Amino acid sequence: MKAYIKLLRIHHWLKNALIFLPLFFSGHLLEGLPLIRTCFGFLAFSLISSCVYIVNDLQDIENDRKHPIKKNRPLASGEAKPKIAIGLAFFLLLSSIAISTFLYCSQPNGITQIWIIVIPIIYFILNVLYSVWLKHKPIVDIVILVSGFLLRVLYGSYVIQVQLSNWLYLMVMFGASYLVFGKRRNEMEKNGQKSRKVLQYYTKDFLDKNMYVFLTLALITYSLWCVDTNIWNQSNTSLMIWSVPMIVIIFLKYSLDIEGNSYGDPVDVVIKDKTLMALILSYIIYTTLVFYVL
């Protein structure tokens, strides 16, 4: 049983916290119905993301056995059986679609957002194509991984029927690009071009330069969001501007980690660095005070 629980990669559900961004930044965090709907949305996306991880592991069994870290995954190590894993993947997929359908059918105010059902399906299809084919295509592989982050935020906004600022969507897109380029960079740094076929098309300099280009764009768009007078009143603008240095420090600490002894996986980097976790928690506390207390 432990092997199949491990197969779900529950710690990677941390990425699905992005679904809460629309709830948090729209000011509806303390409202019962939006909070409950977002929690169900988080569960739906977590189930389908675990399904995708199983599909990916099934596809990569042989390659994972040659990897110094991935060889310990349940399927690659033989702890989990492929037939049971396939059945589990189908169960997770159907459960996710069922929850999304429930959220679609129970939308308040008579407004129908079919995207609540469509987005998880798009996410699933894109990631299956990624697992079996597109992960070997340069640039395309990065675009698909980045789209996963953006789809999570879009899904969260449709679940509670709110629209975020375009600046914030851009920040998520550029920030995700920074994370993905950093992951590819460190995969090449640690294991060379043999660890992934697509890495033969990249160079370390290309990945390194673009990683920091997208970091710059992420910081710029976040800063523009914080000073957008169409969103904030004068009081909140003067307070939110002080979250910019906090975001800069968080990215600096993250960059320091992936420049060190790390494989660059965003979740693993955050979980293993208590200082980074404390910085992120400080940012969450500060923005919570700005949005809901001050």
Cβ-in-10-Å burial (0-12, 13-18, 19+) of 153 comes to buried
Q: How far apart are CA 135 and CA 216, in angstroms?
A: 26
How far, in Å, are 25, 39, 165, 230, 286 from residue 291 at the CA level? 8, 20, 15, 16, 9
CB 222 within 8 A of CB 182: no
Averaged pLDDT, 5-29:
91
Quick one: pLDDT at residue 187?
83
**Closest C-alpha among 123, 126, 130, 268 to residue 198:** 130
One-character DSSP codes across 120-163: HHHHHHHHHHHHHTGGGSTTHHHHHHHHHHHHHHHHHHHHHT--
CB 116 within 8 A of CB 104: yes
Quick one: pLDDT at residue 230?
72
**For the chain, what percent of residues have pLDDT higher than 90?**
54
Quick one: pLDDT at residue 26?
86
The pair of structure tokens assigned to 179 is 């994370």
Averaged pLDDT, 109-127:
87
Averaged pLDDT, 148-164:
93
Selecting from 1.10.3210.10, 3.20.20.70, 3.40.50.970, 1.10.357.140, what CATH number does the domain 1-164 have?
A: 1.10.357.140
Average pLDDT in the chain: 88
Q: Is the pLDDT of residue 181 over 60?
A: yes
Res. 46 pLDDT band, cuts 50 70 90: very high
Quick one: pLDDT at residue 228?
81
Top pLDDT among 215 and 194 is at 215
| Stretch among 46-50, 107-111, 244-248, 272-276 having the lowest mean pLDDT | 107-111
